[in-house]
Amino acid sequence: MTELERRWLELSDVPFDELEDGTLVLAEDWWLFPKGTDREDIWHYFDEHHPDGVYALLYEFPRERVVTCVNCKESYFVSELRPVPVCWDDGKPIGWQYLCPDCVSDLEQNGILTRCECCGEVFYALDLQTDPETGEKELCPHCHEVWCD
């Protein structure tokens, strides 16, 4: 998703005021546009700067849910993000954080996230479970296997 497409999706949450003649104008400053900018002027901007124009954004652009990566705060389609469990109850995840691929990679390289060699899932190293046979915290919280050789 491009920055312009992210802004297009963000626009649906931006407040507008309706003037007496029915014109919709920005209720507050947003991105490149000052308060009072006509919505149609904003649409013209998108039409001029998006390769497929505003029509594609209005009628052909995916309407998938947009979620913010908890690490970098960028917006992504939910399918682009990796859910990482943050809360566990009886060995089952009950809380999730969504991380973009770049942040998952960075957090893995910095040792904050771990990837299980058995199931491929990522998790926080603090979530390793204790192996009853060895007493070591080495079991993947997802598949309950020793997470690496």
pLDDT, position 62? 65
SS (H, E, C) the chain: CCHHHHHHHHHCCCCEEECCCCCEEECCCECCECCCCEHHHHHHHHHHHCCCHHHHHHHCCCCCCEEECCCCCCEEEHHHCEEEEEEEECCEEEEEEEECHHHHHHHHHCCCEEECCCCCCEEEHHHCEECCCCCCEEECCCCCCECCC
pLDDT, position 10? 85
Let me know: does 116 contact 143? Beta carbons within 8 Å.
yes
Beta pairing, strands 75-77 & 82-89: unpaired
pLDDT, position 91? 66
pLDDT, position 64? 64
Within 8 A by CB and 6+ apart from 13, the residues are none
Q: Any idea where the domains of the chain sit in the sequence?
A: 3-63, 75-139
Predicted model pTM: 0.50
pLDDT in tens, the chain (149 residues): 788 888 888 888 899 999 999 999 999 999 999 999 999 999 999 999 999 888 888 877 666 667 788 889 888 877 778 888 777 677 676 677 888 889 999 988 988 888 899 998 888 888 888 999 999 988 988 888 998 86
pLDDT, position 42? 96
